[in-house]
């Protein structure tokens, strides 16, 4: 897989960015993803179930994430939950989007320096 493949997804849809970021640390189930996004954004971004599960389906089809077969111990888990993980392409897309966003922040900072000079 090449960076060229990853670049076709950029700029990334905001909800896809938040999902990939939630999965960057570890595998999670859908509700866990929703909660992490809500907490990380201090309530500013809420992934409703229809948005989340529709996005997960499309992201699996795009090979950005995959359903995981790894599960917690049965007493700590609900058998109905599906767990998701980043694929190598998903990690490249997340890295590419982070670089793109850092470039935008840098451009904003440079503009501010020019204005306040």
Confidence band for 113, pLDDT divided at 50, 70 and 90: confident
Q: Say whether domain 10-116 belongs to CATH 1.10.10.10.
A: yes
For residue 64, the surrounding DSSP H or E stretch is none
Whole-prediction pTM: 0.88
Confidence band for 75, pLDDT divided at 50, 70 and 90: low
CA 32, 42, 28: angle at the middle one, nearest 5?
A: 15
Cα(93)–Cα(7) distance, integer angstroms:
7
Question: How far apart are the two ends of the chain, measured CA to CA in Å?
Answer: 44
pLDDT above 70 for 71: no
């Amino acid at each position: 897989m090449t960076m060229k493949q990853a670049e076709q997804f950029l700029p990334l849809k905001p909800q896809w960015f938040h999902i990939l970021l939630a999965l960057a640390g570890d595998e999670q189930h859908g509700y866990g993803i929703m909660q992490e996004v809500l907490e990380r954004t201090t309530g500013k971004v809420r992934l409703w179930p229809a948005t989340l599960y529709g996005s997960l389906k499309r992201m699996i089809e795009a090979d950005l994430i995959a359903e995981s077969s790894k599960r917690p111990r049965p007493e700590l888990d609900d058998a109905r939950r599906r767990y998701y993980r980043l694929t190598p392409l998903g990690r490249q897309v997340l890295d590419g989007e982070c670089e793109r966003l850092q470039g935008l922040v840098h451009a904003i900072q440079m503009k501010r320096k020019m204005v306040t000079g």
